[in-house]
Amino acid sequence: MSKILNEVLLANREYTAGFDKADLAMPPARQFAILTCMDARLDPAKYAGLSEGDAHVIRNAGGRASDDAIRSLVISYKLLGTREWFVIHHTDCGMETFTDNIMRELLSTSLKTASVDDTGWHDCCEGNGSAEGNYIDWLTIEEQTQSVLEDVTRIRNHPLVPGDIPVYGYIYDVKSGSLIEVPEATTAGQCR
């Protein structure tokens, strides 16, 4: 058994010993959802004041409004009653450090973990790559405020998203813990 697996299972045993959340309702109690990045430095429960059962938190690389993220938001509203949505990207995001072409090139030569230095991304090994990365839109980020605006606009204009759900746009500052509004995004996400 790996060290990480052992630690996770031990933590779960400790968690279940005092588990008292069996009666939480499936719909989020505060009726909102957050789309944010998977970055381990972000703790939406802490920065948004959440307890278990309060809100849906949808996470992916960059917190982008991918088809799957929109699928989750639509389910969150249609079946579970969320009434407000937040798109929250963050400073110092890894999605700003590469482009679709860089990712595709790295994957074409090796599936091993790449490294980065001041000259860019590098593969450690040759061989066993795949061209399948050419068929994925990696949704990289060139500039945070623009990506938040793009994602809020995409969600707001999606044909499966009702016009009466406000969509707010923010950037989480990893140095201060602050949520910084992107006013243009919040304007774009207003109810129509």
Compute the mean pLDDT over every residue in the chain, rounded to the nearest whole number: 96
pLDDT confidence band for 102 (50 / 70 / 90): very high
Domain spans of the chain, in order of start? 21-93+143-192, 99-137
User: What tens digit of pLDDT does each residue of 103-151 get?
Assistant: 999 999 999 999 999 999 999 877 789 999 999 999 999 999 999 999 9
| CA-closest candidate to residue 57, choices 81, 28, 15 | 28
> Can you tell me the mean pLDDT for 38-64?
98
pLDDT confidence band for 79 (50 / 70 / 90): very high
Per-residue pLDDT at 87: 98
CA distance 172 to 157: 24
Per-residue pLDDT at 124: 84
> Taking the model in full, what pTM does it have?
0.94
Fold of domain 21-93+143-192: Beta-carbonic Anhydrase; Chain A (3.40.1050)
User: What tens digit of pLDDT does each residue of 2-39 get?
Assistant: 999 999 999 999 999 999 999 999 999 999 999 999 99
| CA-closest candidate to residue 72, choices 5, 161, 136, 172 | 161
> Can you tell me the mean pLDDT for 60-84?
98
CA distance 119 to 113: 17
Q: Are 26 and 158 in contact (CB under 8 A)?
A: no
> Alpha-carbon torsion 162, 154, 190, 84, what sign?
positive
Greatest alpha-carbon span in the chain: 53
